């Protein structure tokens, strides 16, 4: 199918304005296709030729102003509209469109728990033509009117309030929307279980498939409570009222994204309806996602980017507002998780060869295929970090005044970076364009390295700034409490500003030098920071005793970066984990640190001789977290997950399986049972028959995924061959979620001997899969099916040969390039890189 270019979108926007879409969908025509009839009313400003997009299984008819266009008008997903005259026009298209099993277009899912079927749409970024005929670009906004025919007994949801049509069973009509972009059109249909309420005069509702009804009911008040409080907080800070007629949140199966901001009908992955115990961090993360998607009702839906080079105008703002509004409106404190997890995602992405500015230069995103690549840690986490620094610089009141000016100027329209910067500059009177140039147009992270010396009358800091951004940040000094040497007490805090120039600045302060100096204490800016040697030694004594979780997060991030950059021995990092994580009070820090220690340090940054000792260290941390007297259920759950993942003795795991608990931990709920059985499979201590028994016990979609993960993890040649065939054979029978589960089970460092032939085959297989199955599966193949455990130059060479191919799907090329850069970094940490050099800053 043809990819829309920016030039084509600009030409079409100059030619056309679009007033209205009338879309009629029929979901009663079988399991393979649905019928879609679209009528588009639009105006041509002058005479010219253009096209609409549609990707049908069968084109029934297409007519422009009543004139049949004929079957030859459709080619390569484009419906040619030749000879337009100035004035109003009407395009009507009748087609059968295919259901998706990969989360694009209209995804069809049949629940194995009860056999019930559910449908939902995903039109972002360029998948709308899998649902309806469209001028599919964000700056051709229009009113949408949707009617749906569904099986009797189903509920239909849409962007506007959906109501059944009297006297027409199964027929639903959605209220017309305000002008919105094509990628935001949404529909969901099925026998949903719904929890409905009203708030601020609007209908609010939650929806989930019936097999998850009891779990939604258990958490409905918490979810709705967060929704209400965030809604009220946005009403306080935004002068523009909520712009749509309802607020539905549908938790849908096999969803590729975390959530999607469809106006009035937010779709979220249904893993956020928790079946098993979760940590406080996971609950807070669900709250952040709710707040994030609600922010999009203004950032993205009311005011929309003009083209996909301004993805950050949507995602950076929603990311920042999601964390800040949840903090303002609830008891959650999610910035700690942002600092340790989301920000680490941004730092990692920003150091790869594929890094890009938060706001790429015009022309850097030439088409929609390129646009997919920038939904990453830079557009989300780095962009949100930049905005947090902007708020620190401007002040919250001025920042909000600029945002509201932006909304007022562009409501129900489109805007660019220049538009937004002008609104902020108008509100603040500050040189915001210069700030934006330094922060938004430059790739890569800055690095701040301190050098501290004591003097006769105080102490002196020489701060080396590698980078080109101005920073306003805090220097935090800390010392051991004389009454409790493991506890840290403040030893001076200083606010400083750095200009945008590289180099070393000197700062003098009175009093004794602090035992521990934290650059960027409080995590107010976005920069890699280092600890001077004296401070690192103090951190080894004081880290868990720092009272502010953001201070601890900055230190842990510094240690993480030092490991990744080859400046800190991975074993020294594990020593810090062993000393301080058992006493770490913030679940978000404990989870992030233990995840890095397990997945990166143990599996990638240590050789095969060192790895068993690393796993024993993590098992020891888990045992400490499960010590008698530890009552916090979140700490016990983190510990149980860590203990299972670090276990190396099958007999120990078997004892836990039989007892139904990790000693001192929680009872094994279904999530922990699958986790433990997966570890048994990795160690070769279970059978396919036992996996089948557990799948029968948990006859759900999650159970199917757990079983697929476990079967793929069995270290037997027959099991690996079956899993490989399921992943990459031409039948392509796996849904996106079952593909990911199988890939997650496949690769393990313990199984290198049986996996070696597949490491050699992976790159060709992934390229062929991406060509057949498209963006979503290409991304999954790069992210989840890459040969983990093969940290060696041979894998790197094969990957580089694959990247040299001219025919790779862009999504796969980007994913593989990122994986190979991580592999180079791991080889350097291991001292096995030979002539391999890091390509990134």
CA dist 391 and 397 (Å) reads 9
Q: Is 520 left (phi over 0), alpha (psi -120 to 50) or beta?
A: left
Phi, psi of 406 (to 5 degrees): -60, -45
User: Would you tell me the crossing angle of helices 280-295 and 213-237 to the nearest 10 degrees?
Assistant: 50
Burial class (CB in 10 A: 0-12, 13-18, 19+), 197: middle
* C-alpha R_g of the chain: 27
User: Can you give the length of the chain in residues?
Assistant: 841
| Token pair of 285 as six digits | 């993360």
Check if the beta carbon of residue 222 is closer than 8 Å to that of residue 185: no
Check if the beta carbon of residue 144 is closer than 8 Å to that of residue 177: yes
Q: Tokens 């599996």 appear where?
A: 603
Question: From residue 828, how far is each of 569, 796, 815, 831 by CA, in Å?
Answer: 12, 12, 20, 5
501 is catalytic: no
Check if the beta carbon of residue 406 is closer than 8 Å to that of residue 420: yes
Q: Tokens 């998948």 appear where?
A: 127
CA dist 102 and 774 (Å) reads 9
Burial class (CB in 10 A: 0-12, 13-18, 19+), 651: exposed
Q: Tokens 């969901």 appear where?
A: 188
The two most distant CA atoms of the chain are separated, in Å, by 90
| Token pair of 169 as six digits | 């069973």
Q: Which residues contact 294 (CB under 8 A, 6 or more apart)?
A: 227, 230, 231, 234, 247, 266, 322, 325
Stretch (H or E) spanning 1: none
Query: For 429, how many CA atoms within 13 A lie in the half-sphere containing its CB?
Result: 0
Residues facing 484 on adjacent strands: 481
Query: Beta strand 447-455 with 413-415: parallel, antiparallel or unpaired?
Result: unpaired
| Token pair of 105 as six digits | 């277009």
Q: What is the dihedral of CA 125, 130, 132, 137, to 10 degrees?
A: 20
CA dist 547 and 483 (Å) reads 15
Residues facing 34 on adjacent strands: 97
Stretch (H or E) spanning 275: none
Closest CA to 270 of 282, 281, 259: 259
Q: Which residues contact 166 (CB under 8 A, 6 or more apart)?
A: none
Question: From residue 751, how far is each of 365, 675, 706 by CA, in Å?
Answer: 41, 18, 19
| Helices of type H across 498-569 | 533-542, 549-564
| Buried-state track 481-498, b at ≥16 Cβ within 10 A, e below 16 | eeeeeeebbebbeeeeeb
Check if the beta carbon of residue 243 is closer than 8 Å to that of residue 299: no
Give me the catalytic one of 293, 315, 337, 405: 293
What is the number of other CB atoms lying within 10 angstroms of the CB of residue 83?
9
CA dist 187 and 174 (Å) reads 9
Check if the beta carbon of residue 383 is closer than 8 Å to that of residue 316: yes
Check if the beta carbon of residue 208 is closer than 8 Å to that of residue 218: no
Query: Beta strand 413-415 with 303-305: parallel, antiparallel or unpaired?
Result: parallel
| Buried-state track 90-120, b at ≥16 Cβ within 10 A, e below 16 | ebbbbbbbbbbbbbbbbbbbebbbeebbbbb
Active site residues: 293
């Amino acid at each position: 199918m043809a990819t829309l270019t920016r030039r084509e979108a600009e030409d079409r926007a100059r030619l056309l304005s679009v007033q209205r879409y009338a879309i009629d969908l029929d979901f009663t025509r079988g399991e393979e296709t649905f019928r879609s009839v679209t009528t588009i009313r639009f105006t041509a400003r002058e005479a010219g030729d253009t096209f609409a997009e549609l990707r049908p299984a069968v084109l029934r008819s297409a007519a422009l102003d009543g004139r049949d266009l004929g079957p030859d008008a459709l080619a390569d997903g484009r419906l040619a509209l030749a000879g337009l005259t100035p004035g109003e026009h009407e395009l009507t298209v009748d087609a059968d469109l295919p259901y998706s099993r990969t989360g694009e277009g209209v995804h069809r899912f049949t629940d194995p728990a009860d056999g019930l079927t559910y449908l939902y749409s995903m039109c972002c970024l360029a998948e709308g033509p899998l649902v309806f005929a469209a001028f599919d670009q964000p700056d051709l906004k229009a009113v949408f009117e949707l009617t749906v025919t569904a099986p009797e007994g189903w509920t239909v949801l849409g962007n506007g309030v959906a109501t059944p049509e009297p006297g027409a069973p199964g027929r639903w009509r959605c209220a017309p929307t305000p002008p919105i972009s094509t990628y935001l059109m949404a529909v969901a249909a099925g026998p949903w279980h719904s929890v409905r309420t009203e708030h601020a005069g609007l209908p609010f509702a939650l929806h989930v498939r019936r097999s998850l009804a009891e779990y939604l009911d258990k958490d409905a008040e918490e979810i709705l409570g967060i929704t209400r409080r965030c809604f009220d907080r946005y009403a306080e800070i935004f002068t523009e009222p909520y712009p749509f007629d309802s607020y539905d949140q549908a938790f849908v199966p096999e969803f590729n994204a975390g959530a999607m901001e469809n106006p009035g009908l937010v779709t979220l992955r249904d893993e956020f309806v928790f079946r098993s115990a979760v940590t406080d961090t996971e609950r807070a993360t669900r709250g952040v996602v709710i707040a994030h998607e609600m922010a999009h009702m203004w950032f993205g839906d009311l005011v929309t980017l003009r083209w996909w080079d301004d993805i950050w105008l949507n995602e950076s703002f929603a990311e920042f507002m999601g964390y800040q509004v949840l903090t303002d409106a609830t008891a959650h404190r999610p910035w700690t998780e942002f600092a340790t997890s989301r920000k680490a995602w941004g730092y990692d992405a920003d150091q790869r060869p594929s890094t890009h500015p938060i706001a790429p230069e015009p022309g850097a995103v030439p088409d929609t295929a390129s646009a997919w690549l920038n939904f990453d840690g830079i557009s989300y986490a780095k962009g949100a970090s930049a905005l947090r620094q902007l708020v620190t610089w401007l002040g919250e009141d001025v920042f909000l005044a600029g945002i509201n000016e932006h909304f007022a100027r562009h409501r129900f329209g489109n805007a660019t970076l220049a538009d937004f910067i002008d609104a902020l500059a108008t509100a603040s009177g500050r040189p915001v364009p210069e700030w934006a140039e330094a922060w938004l147009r430059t790739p890569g992270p800055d690095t701040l390295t301190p050098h501290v010396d004591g003097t006769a009358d105080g102490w002196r800091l020489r701060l080396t700034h590698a980078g080109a951004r101005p920073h306003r940040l805090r220097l935090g000094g800390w010392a051991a409490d004389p009454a409790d040497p493991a506890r840290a007490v403040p030893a001076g805090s200083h606010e400083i500003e750095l200009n945008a120039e590289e180099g070393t600045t000197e700062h003098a302060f009175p009093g004794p030098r602090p035992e521990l100096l934290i650059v960027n204490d409080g995590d107010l800016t976005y920069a890699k920071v280092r600890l001077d040697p004296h401070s690192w030694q103090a951190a080894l004594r004081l880290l868990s005793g720092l009272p502010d979780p953001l201070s601890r997060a900055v230190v842990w991030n510094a240690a993480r970066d030092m490991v990744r950059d080859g400046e800190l021995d991975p074993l020294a990092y594990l020593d810090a984990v062993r000393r301080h994580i058992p006493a770490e009070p913030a679940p978000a820090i404990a989870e992030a640190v233990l995840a890095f220690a397990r997945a990166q340090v143990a599996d990638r940054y240590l050789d095969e001789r060192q790895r068993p000792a690393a796993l024993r260290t993590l098992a020891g941390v888990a045992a400490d977290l499960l010590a008698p007297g530890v009552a916090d259920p979140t700490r016990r759950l983190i510990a149980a997950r860590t203990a299972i993942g670090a276990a190396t003795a099958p007999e120990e795991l078997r004892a836990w399986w039989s007892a139904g608990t990790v000693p001192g931990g929680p009872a094994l709920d279904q999530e922990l049972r699958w986790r433990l059985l997966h570890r048994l499979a990795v160690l070769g201590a279970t059978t396919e028959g036992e996996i089948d028994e557990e799948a029968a016990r948990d006859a759900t979609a999650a159970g199917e995924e757990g079983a697929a993960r476990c079967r793929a993890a069995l270290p037997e040649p027959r099991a690996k061959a079956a899993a490989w065939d399921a992943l990459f054979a031409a039948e392509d029978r796996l849904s996106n979620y079952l593909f990911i589960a199988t890939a997650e089970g496949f690769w393990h460092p313990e199984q290198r001997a049986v996996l070696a032939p597949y490491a050699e085959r992976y790159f060709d297989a992934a390229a062929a899969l991406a060509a057949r199955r498209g963006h979503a599966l290409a991304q999954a193949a790069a992210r989840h099916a890459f040969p983990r455990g093969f940290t060696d130059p041979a894998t790197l060479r094969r990957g580089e040969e694959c990247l040299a191919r001219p025919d790779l799907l862009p999504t796969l090329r980007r994913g593989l390039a990122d994986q190979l850069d991580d592999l180079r970094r791991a080889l350097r940490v291991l001292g096995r890189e030979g002539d391999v050099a890091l390509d990134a800053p």
